Amino acid sequence: MSEFLRLFLGYISIALSFSLILYALDGLSLKKFLDVKLEIEYTCNTYPTICKSLFSFLYIIVVSASIPLATILSVFSGILFGVFQGTLLSTLSATIGAIFSFILVRYFLKSFLHNQSTASFDAFQKMFIKNGVFYLFATRMIPIFPFYLVNIFMAFTPIKVVPYSIVTFMGITPMTIIYVYFGSQINKISHISEILSPQILIIFCLIGLTPLILRFVFNYFFKK
């Protein structure tokens, strides 16, 4: 429990420090952000299908290329499209990108990466062999390994594309909802002081607390 409190309090301290730094900027950067946001929102409202398609395409490319920007894109989807549409776009795009990355490694880069074994890969492989698909679900729910690394690691396991896709979609949905909802709350900010609002602070707590709780839960089951 002491480790849990240490990690959680450390995360919240960082989040609050970041918020206070933004507050100290006296709204200058926020004003620029709001001006740009209004322009982007106008474009998205005028051409919704094109904007959503371009966003999904960008998200898929980023995940397929193993660029660690999926969380940021999920937050932006909440800013631009709201909770429901943002969550749907983000989860589907992330899943499709993960499938492309998985297939690319399995069928084109597996021989090249086969000899690039690392301690992280060995640990992942042992846990997957021991716990099967449930371990994939756990790594999608909590950041045991970075999202893009899981896509690569899974290519070296016997799992098939369909179960991999379904488990990935289900596993990333809870945290994606939190990230998107966070973006939707940022979208409501009109003054820098609102960054310290109760809603934003609660979301910071959820982002920090949820993975830690899940980590201890999954560790409990994996040790049994």
Residue 16 confidence (pLDDT):
52
Distance, in Å, from the CA atom of 179 to the CA atom of 77, rounded to the nearest integer, reads 9
Single out the residue of 186, 129, 180 nearest to residue 159, CA to CA. 129
- CA–CA gap between residue 139 and residue 142 (Å, rounded): 5
What's the pLDDT band for 84 if we cut at 50, 70, 90?
Answer: very high
| Mean pLDDT score across all residues of the chain | 75
Coil, helix or strand at residue 161: helix
Residue pLDDT, tens place only, 198-222: 666 666 566 555 555 566 656 655 5
In angstroms, what is the C-alpha Rg of the chain?
Answer: 19
Determine contact, residues 19/12, Cβ cutoff 8 Å. no
Q: Which of 34-38, 66-70, 140-144, 152-156 has the lowest mean pLDDT?
A: 34-38
In angstroms, the CA 9 to CA 190 distance is 28
The rounded percent of the chain whose pLDDT value lies above 70 is: 62
pLDDT in tens, 94-143: 999 999 999 988 888 766 555 656 677 777 777 787 777 888 888 888 76
